[in-house]
Structure 1
Amino acid sequence: MNNSHSDGPQKTEGASGNGKLGLEQTLGAIVIQMLREGRYITRHSICIAVAECIEKNTRPELEAHYADILRVLLSREAE
């Protein structure tokens, strides 16, 4: 498999500018990327992947976007 890493999925928002839709789309893209890399999908592994995206990004708006995703992941109670 190709183990090249980019800055992560780009921020996307719906036509209405709904930030939640953008968060869900970005999170989905992160999970798809992890699956393609053969990584296990757990809340912990997703949080690590999002943190890696924050660390690799130099654009403040993308760092904030990934930080929002991380906040959502960490704020949800375990199911």
Structure 2
Amino acid sequence: MPLYPRQSDLVQLHIFPGEAYAEMVKEALEKQGIPCLLQKDSLSSIYVVQGSTDSCPTRILVREEDLSRATSIMEQMIDHI
């Protein structure tokens, strides 16, 4: 299986209200060997002022086989935020 599969092969881990927390979780997942993809809400991003993407809802997508481990890592992080 490729390290970064097609987006259609991914499942949603979580939706964050902004990009900053999603980026933090993405970095932690990748450090643990879990590839992931961030997907911004395209409709919201139309109305966001350039340079201020933190208010865009951002999804984290992972491979289905990584979902359980990714959820555990994310929940540990959220407990400390």
Question: Shared fold by TM > 0.5?
Answer: no
Structure with more strand by fraction? 2
- TM-score for both structures, normalised by structure 1: 0.30
Structure with more helix by fraction? 1
- TM-score for both structures, normalised by structure 2: 0.30
